[in-house]
Amino acid sequence: MKYIFAGDREISVNILSFIISKGYKPLALFVPSDAQQSHANELIKLSGLSRDKIFKGKEVNYDEIVQNINSLNVDYIIGIHFPYIISNKLLNVPKIGFLNLHPAYLPFNKGWHTPSWAIIDGTPYGATLHFMSEKLDAGDIILQEEIVVSSTDTANSLYAKVLKKEYEVFVKAFDGIRSLKPTRIEQLSEGTSHVRKDLESIQEINVDKNYKGKDIINLLRGLTTNNIKESAYFVENGKKQYIQINIIPENDEK
């Protein structure tokens, strides 16, 4: 199996470590630009690659870079939380495909802020390993597993769950990947999708509006992330007052 690895975040370090432990080292590495990365340095060190085989940020879509990596004749590009739109030219580089690990149960919650929308929209949630295609998060599915969303889950707790599930899904699918015979299941045409700005449109709570109890609780749960700026808020004296929620079941108060 010949591959290029593209990723960021701790989960990408864990998955690249797993792949290398099975005897497969990447032929090139894509990481975010210095300003956007969180774990690029760890990935670079782990890969053991020379500087000329490491590509950063949007440069991965440049024609000269695509031509360069085309000569590597790879079977896959494996994308793990790599935060860039991929050009069609780059999608066509690997012989088998560009794989992507997405924190959602596709075809539901394509795009951004997947745990938030799973709670707010009441859609199924989980982790999906799939082939990338021209359309966002719409390629054939290799493997996916669902997560039960608890009534006490927030977007933050649900994201922690899905990170564990993503790793499990990749490990389970790996034998098919390295044998060059990954499963391909066509996605259903139904589902949901959200862009990054969609979350901003629902954050403000109108204090003069009547809300159903379930709706407001789910909204607060879905907007409780690890980023206070993504929280629900109301405006008082011209200032945003942010709200986060913590649901504690009876008898678990301690």
CB 113 within 8 A of CB 80: no
Which domains can be identified in the chain, with CATH numbers? Answer: 3-194 (3.40.50.170), 197-243 (no CATH)
115/42 Cα distance (integer angstroms): 26
For 117, half-sphere exposure in the C-beta direction (CA atoms, 13 angstrom radius) is 24
Q: Please state the φ and ψ torsions of residue 15, each to the nearest 5 degrees.
A: -75, -40
Q: Which residues pair with 145 in a beta bridge?
A: 127
pLDDT of residue 202: 97
Q: Is 196 helix (H, G, I), strand (E, B) or coil?
A: helix
Asked if pLDDT for residue 26 goes beyond 70, the answer is: yes
pLDDT of residue 38: 86
- Residue 49 CB burial class (10 angstroms; 0-12, 13-18, ≥19): middle
- Retrieve residue 132's tokens: 């990338």
Asked if pLDDT for residue 203 goes beyond 70, the answer is: yes
pLDDT in tens, 227-251: 999 999 999 999 999 999 999 998 8
- Retrieve residue 109's tokens: 């919650």
Output the pTM of the full model.
0.93
Query: Count H helices, E strands: the chain?
Result: 7, 11
Asked if pLDDT for residue 254 goes beyond 80, the answer is: no
Q: For the chain, percent helix, then strand, then coil, each to nearest 5? A: 35, 20, 45
What's the one-letter identity of residue 217? I
Q: Is 114 helix (H, G, I), strand (E, B) or coil?
A: helix
Q: Which residues contact 201 (CB under 8 A, 6 or more apart)?
A: none
Between helix 155-178 and helix 9-21 the angle, nearest 10°, is: 20
For 148, half-sphere exposure in the C-beta direction (CA atoms, 13 angstrom radius) is 3
pLDDT of residue 237: 94
CA-CA distances (angstroms) from residue 44 to 1, 8, 129, 201?
20, 11, 23, 37
Rounded to an integer, the average pLDDT of 186-197 is: 92
pLDDT in tens, 84-128: 889 999 999 999 999 999 999 999 999 999 999 999 999 999 999
**Average pLDDT across the chain, whole number:** 95
- Retrieve residue 64's tokens: 């000269």
